[in-house]
Every structure is written in structure tokens, then in C-alpha cells.
Chains A and B, each alone.
Chain A
């Protein structure tokens, strides 16, 4: 089930939230309540995911069963290790014996083996579906990383005990299931416990609804509309003029922003209703002053995941400068592959990796630790001249946008063609099909009855409205989550919520039209 669907907004979400609070109202015992709420969340998540069809459900079930098995074996090993160590302590008192130490090592090795086996199967499953060309199970990239995170944390002892219901809630939690955030288990459980104690209050619900309406608006009205123009651009690369190529690239940057941040806003809003703070995943990324700053704002939890589970195990910055930079490149290339299969994603990852390394090299001063240096640079940037900051933001945005072209293009040659057309496309007016993508009836009808229609650029007016409006929101607007949490809830914000939510809900379906020509 998608967030932007009638079934979710008009049936699933209201029923789920009402049920959540009914359970809270009728059960006082914290432990029992926790279990019931977890059960309700797992049941809801099952229904949510079942809408994607049985094929997806089967793959998800296999992943869950495999990981439960791996965790269980590790758990048994842990118990054995503890027992052997205990025995060892006793026998050392009585009589020294080498065989006990060997036993301890053997069980510990077996636990490690299962950790690797667990990770290996998770990664293999993900790679199989990524490259086999069969079908790509919904959310597999996200739940696979959550599984790996759980396995590693459990092995390391960061998770004290395997609680099946809690594990299922963590893995299946529907607000974060489809597009993250990749929340750590520790943080998740902390929030879950907090959620149990949170009481229903209208203010929070209103704030959550405001956030959901803002997110939905970003996704349905902005991202999906912009997406039509982007589709036109990438499907007609060979015919684009210079301006159209620039617009295509910039619009794609905007589309990704609104799509992803819109999703995060809705997910956060849903969790807010439950009294649960979802980890921040998106923090005005196009306001970043350099690529390092960008990755602290874009898909924050993915960066954290790679840092914790790949970068640090690879040695992080502890094995010299060269290894540090190689580790960065590995992370960005892996990130590229995680986002999609094919060379375009690898180039995208490499572009980010190369600039990241260069930025680190430029920022690094002899004798200073890199992390501290970066933080210092970040602080300096904040205090810096706003003009220079503006230039930095624009340059970072241009680079990130250029990299997104590879992310979106079907092939490397398509991406190169777009850049070539940027300089060779010439002065062509904006194609009618591209401009028409923005002519939403609700705007276009108003414009048609105004004197604007007499102006030479009237046909493109909606396109420019979207471009400028989006740029203002992206570069100058307040983060939606911060706005929803801090604004004064009033009649105005309630009307805004009603208008945005109603507008997006009636925009879910559309009317299918196809070009009917030859049979």
C-alpha cells in the first residue's frame, strides 16, 4: 500500500491510529500494553505490505525466517559461550584445563560464522533480485539493511535479548518500511517505549496531520507533476534544446527532493500520531555548502548505516589517509549499487565519492584529525559571508544535479547526451509537452481567464511558477518537520491542512488516457 493511495489515507491510517489509541485507553499495564501495541503494529504492517501482492510477501517472509534462524543460532551460541565461560571460571578454581578455553573459542567462532552467514544470505538475496531481472521486491533494500543492522547489533551485544515481537515490529514497521529511515534498533525500541507512555492529545494530532498534508502535497502535487516533465525530457533527449536540458536536470533534482522529503514528512507525521519520533532522515539537503555537508542532510540514516557497518569495520580513518579515502570511495560505490544496478549508479556513486575525498583533502590541515576538521569547517561555513555561502550552495547544487543525471538516465550514453545537448541544443522554445506537464487544471483554468493569457510566455507560465515556487521552498523554506513541530496551531494551519490534504487526495487517481492510433 502506498501512502499516496485512497486505501491508505481514507481507510488504513484512520483505522490503525484509532485502534492504536483504543488499545492504549483500555490497557493500563505497561508490559501488556507494549506487547498489544506491537502486535497491532505488526498486524497493521502485514496488511500494509500484503497490498503489494504475494510475491513480495513471500520474499519478505523468507528474509524474516532466515534472520530469525540466524539470530536464534547466535542466541544459542551466546548461551553456550556464557555457560562454557562459567564452567571455565569454576574449573580454573579447581584445576586448570586448556580444553575449556578451546570450547569457548569454538562456540564464539560458531557465533561469528552465523553472523557472516546471516549477512551473506541477506546481501545475496538483495543482489539476486537486483541483478537477476526477475522482479524487484518492494522495500527489499531497506529491510535487508535493517536485518543486517539487527544481526550485527545482536552479535555485538548491543541488543541484550532477542524478543521476536519486538524484532518483527522493528523490521516490519510500516511508516519506515518502504523508504526508511534506516533507524537503529536501539533508537527504535527507545521510541517504542516512549510511544506506549504517550497520551492522546489533539495538538499533536493536528501537528501530525499538518506534516502529513505537507508531505503529501510535496509528493503528489509537486514531485509527481514535475516528474512528468522529467519523463518527457529523458524520453526525448536527442530533441532537447539547451534550456530544456537544464530544466530537465534541475527538475529531476527537485522531483527527487520533493518525492523523498515528502515521504519522510508523511512517515514522520504518522509516527508523531503514535507518539513516536522517527529519526531525522532529511534536513534541507540542497542548502548544503559542500558535498560533506550534503551527506549530513540527504538520507542521513543511510550515511550513518554505511559509517557504522562498513566504514568503521574497514578501518575508518585509523589506518592512514590513503586507506581513509579508499574507504570513502568504497562506501560511495556501494551506495551507488544499493540505489540501483548498472553503470549509471556506479558513476553517480563515484562522482559523490571523488568530490567527497577532494573536499576532505582540501579541508584537512596537517596535524588535525579529519572529523574535527570537518566539524570546524562546518562551523566556519555557518559563520561565513552569506554571499560566499550562497555561491557554495549553488555550486554544490549544480554538482549534485549533474550527478543525479546519471542516477536517472537509462544508460551512460543517455546521460552524456543530455550534457552534450546542454551545449549543442541551441535556442529552442520549451516543448509544448514539457510545459503542459505543469498545467494542472486547477491552475490553468484560473490563468486562462486572466490577462496573463495574452502574454507571450503564457503557455509556459505554470512551468515557471513550479520552478520558482519549488526553488523558494527548497532553498529558503523551513524544514517541514521543524515547521510542523514549532508552528502555532491555529485556524490558519488547520485550513492549510484541510486544503492540502483534500487537494492531494482528489489528485490520487487521475483518468487514464492513452494514445489511440494504430492497433
Chain B
């Protein structure tokens, strides 16, 4: 009798344990299945038709977009590229373009995403070759460490290891923020405008720029003119040029973004002026020999003198992005030779010399 009772009890516990295992497995399968089916980070497949995808996470969503979307051109670079409207590229250049910006991108970030862009086994490459790459060349980042990314990457979205994908498929943030939220709101991102920052006009005024400006401390000792070159050379050699060389059929549009005149004040405070100019010239000289490279120098645009075009010392308004796309089309501001680059840098020097920084800093903002 007692034994029967014990046996019954044991059977109950065994059934409860089976229920536990079955319950956990069911939750895991439903949870992971939903994420894999919708795939809000485009890790496994192209976007579902009609699903309102929210795209706002560069680190997590760029690799999937590069791998599983259909495009012929891509935008690579830092926050200098976030305000591009990809519809402009379609309209002016006839290129279906995807934005793959990493704000604050180091050359290693560019390398990582370009490796995925040019991966021939991807769905994107099976559909179309890469015809154009629009690449913001941020000179200040060219001395970064060769292997360092700006932010730690969610590796499970970048590597081919399917085991660590568990961090994606059993992740409540993915389910709630990237599947449930857009479903409830019924509205996804406009892919042509993803990652837009400071998109409304009130961000752009000199008052705001100067009020938030933090002047770097003056460095007494000037940096030697050649000192930035070795690391710049390494970064070009390791993280950028291999793609240019390996893909002669792809046109690379490198451009030096039009930072404001205030950027040059930073350079002078840091006492790296001559070294920086040398660095610009060096990068141009390394890029120009390639037939598939178009190089643009936008920093001596008149607009850089007016801080009402900026949200801070470097970030310009979206109209300038549109203007740059127009230049990519008509060749305005394009550099064709080392001499032309030297001429532009000389013009830049004159603009800096002619700018009245004293007056700018004498005012209370």
C-alpha cells in the first residue's frame, strides 16, 4: 500500500519533470521560431514582405542588411553618412543603395562590414554585384588601432557560428523591441532614412554649436609632419585598400566629409595642423592611382564657414548630404590628381588663415 503511494508520488514527479522539459522546449521553439521567421536583424533571410521592420541599431542590423538585402551600392562610414537619403542615390545615380553607417566608425569597422558586403556567398551578392561604394574618409580615425572597433560588436551576428546565435534567437529584447513594438505600432522604419540624426532644422544654428563646443586643450609641442603617416598607411593597407584592389569592377567614391571650420581650430589646438594636412595629402596619393576610385574633397566648401549649417563642429545638415550626392553625379569637388589635392589643401589653408576665430570666441554664446 505504502509502496503504491510512493510509486504514485514518483510517477507524479516524473510527469512534472517531463512537463518541465516539454514546457521549456516549447517556449524555446516558439520564441526562437518567431525570431527566425521574422528575422528583424536580417541574419537569416531577406525581409518579409509587408512586415514593418524597425531599423535603428547599426551594430546589430548592419551585418544582416549587408548580407540579405538587395542593393547595388552601399554607404560606408561614420556619423558623417547617417543623414544620406538613399532615395537620392536612386534618383540621381540610379543606384539602389543601402546605408551601412557605423557612427564613430574606425577603419576596422569599415573592414568588417565591407567583408560582408563583398561576401560572394551572401544572398545580396547572389542577386547583384556591388557596383558602387560610397565611403566617408574620416581622417581623424585613420590613426586608430588596426584591430579595434569603435564599440564591442555583437559577434554572434557577424560570425558564421550558429551555436552562438542563441543570443539572437532567445533574446527578449529582439522579440519585444523589434517584433512586437512595430507590430503594435503598425509602423516600421523608412529604409531610405534609417539612422538619421539631427534631422530637423532647429539643430543647425551657430548658437547651439558654440554653446556646446568644448575646445580641446592647447598642446604645446607640435606633432612632427610625418608622424601620422605610418599608422594611416597601415590602416589603408590592411582595412581599406584590399577591397579596392580585389574589386576593380566596383566604383569606390571616397570623400573627405565637409567638417566645419571649427574642426580646424581643434586641429590647431592639438598642434597637429601640418601633420594632418600631410595625412590628407598622403591618403589622396594612395587612393588616386586606382582606376576604380573617385575622390572628393568637400572641406573647402563655402558652407563650412557658416556654423548655421552644423549641429556641432563636424556634423552638417542633410541638405549638404544631398549636395554631395549631386557632386558624385556631376563630378563637382572631385580630385583627379595629387596636384589638385595639394591645390585644394592650399585653398583650405587660406580659408583657415582668413577665418576670424578671435571674433568667434570673443562672443558669449
- A residues contacting B by CB (< 8 A) are 6, 10, 201-203, 205-206, 209, 441-442, 445, 489-491, 494-495, 497-498, 501-503, 505-514, 516-519
Pairs A–B under 8 Å by Cβ, sample size 18: A202-B14, A497-B20, A498-B24, A502-B23, A502-B31, A508-B170, A511-B171, A512-B59, A512-B152, A514-B151, A516-B103, A516-B104, A516-B197, A517-B79, A518-B79, A518-B312, A519-B80, A519-B314
Q: Contact between A508 and B79 (Cβ–Cβ < 8 Å)?
A: no
Instruction: Choose among A201, A490, A511 the residue that contacts B10 (Cβ–Cβ < 8 A).
Output: A201
| B90-98, B175-183, B333-341 - interface stretch | B175-183
B contacts with A: majority SS = helix
Shortest 8 CB-CB distances between A and B: which pairs? A516-B103, A441-B176, A202-B13, A498-B23, A506-B172, A509-B167, A519-B104, A511-B173
Classify chain B: how many residues form its interface, as a range: 35 or more
Shortest beta-carbon distance from B75 to chain A in Å: 15
Please indicate the chain B residues that have their CB under 8 angstroms from the CB of A202 in the complex: 10, 13-14, 16-17
Instruction: Choose among A206, A441, A508, A516 the residue that contacts B17 (Cβ–Cβ < 8 A).
Output: A206
Q: Contact between A510 and B173 (Cβ–Cβ < 8 Å)?
A: yes
| B167 nearest CB neighbor, chain A only | A509
| B172 nearest CB neighbor, chain A only | A506
- Which of A491, A502, A506 is the most central at the interface, judged by chain B CB atoms within 10 Å of its CB? A506
- Given the interface contacts A498-B23, A509-B171, does A519 sit within 8 Å of B57 by beta carbon? no
Please indicate the chain B residues that have their CB under 8 angstroms from the CB of A205 in the complex: 17
Q: Contact between B24 and A513 (Cβ–Cβ < 8 Å)?
A: no
Please indicate the chain B residues that have their CB under 8 angstroms from the CB of A517 in the complex: 79, 103, 197
- Given the interface contacts A6-B166, A498-B23, A517-B103, does A511 sit within 8 Å of B16 by beta carbon? no
Beyond contacts A442-B172, A511-B173: 16 other A-B pairs, Cβ-Cβ < 8 A, are A6-B170, A202-B10, A202-B17, A203-B9, A441-B181, A445-B180, A494-B19, A498-B23, A502-B27, A503-B172, A511-B154, A511-B171, A518-B314, A519-B78, A519-B80, A519-B150
Instruction: Choose among A10, A498, A511 the residue that contacts B27 (Cβ–Cβ < 8 A).
Output: A498
B60 within 8 Å of A by Cβ?
Answer: yes
Shortest beta-carbon distance from A102 to chain B in Å: 64
Instruction: Choose among A490, A497, A506, A518 the residue that contacts B170 (Cβ–Cβ < 8 A).
Output: A506
- Please count the residue pairs between chain A and chain B whose beta carbons lie under 8 angstroms apart in the complex: 113
**Alpha-carbon distance between A495 and B177 when the two chains are bound, in angstroms:** 26
Shortest beta-carbon distance from B311 to chain A in Å: 9
Q: Contact between B141 and A509 (Cβ–Cβ < 8 Å)?
A: no
Instruction: Choose among A6, A497, A502 the residue that contacts B167 (Cβ–Cβ < 8 A).
Output: A6
Please indicate the chain B residues that have their CB under 8 angstroms from the CB of A206 in the complex: 13, 16-17, 20
**Alpha-carbon distance between A519 and B151 when the two chains are bound, in angstroms:** 11
Contact with A along B296-320 (1 / 0, CB 8 A): 0000000000000000101100000
Instruction: Choose among B13, B58, B173, B184 the residue that contacts A509 (Cβ–Cβ < 8 A).
Output: B173
Q: Contact between A511 and B60 (Cβ–Cβ < 8 Å)?
A: yes
B39 within 8 Å of A by Cβ?
Answer: no
| A205 nearest CB neighbor, chain B only | B17
Shortest beta-carbon distance from A178 to chain B in Å: 21
**Alpha-carbon distance between A507 and B31 when the two chains are bound, in angstroms:** 12
| A503 nearest CB neighbor, chain B only | B172
**Alpha-carbon distance between A201 and B105 when the two chains are bound, in angstroms:** 55
- Given the interface contacts A206-B16, A519-B78, does A442 sit within 8 Å of B176 by beta carbon? yes
**Alpha-carbon distance between A206 and B21 when the two chains are bound, in angstroms:** 11
Please indicate the chain A residues that have their CB under 8 angstroms from the CB of B9 in the complex: 203
- Given the interface contacts A498-B20, A498-B23, does A445 sit within 8 Å of B176 by beta carbon? yes
Instruction: Choose among A489, A510, A519 the residue that contacts B79 (Cβ–Cβ < 8 A).
Output: A519
**Alpha-carbon distance between A517 and B103 when the two chains are bound, in angstroms:** 7
Instruction: Choose among B13, B57, B314 the residue that contacts A203 (Cβ–Cβ < 8 A).
Output: B13
Please indicate the chain A residues that have their CB under 8 angstroms from the CB of B184 in the complex: 445
Q: Contact between B177 and A511 (Cβ–Cβ < 8 Å)?
A: yes
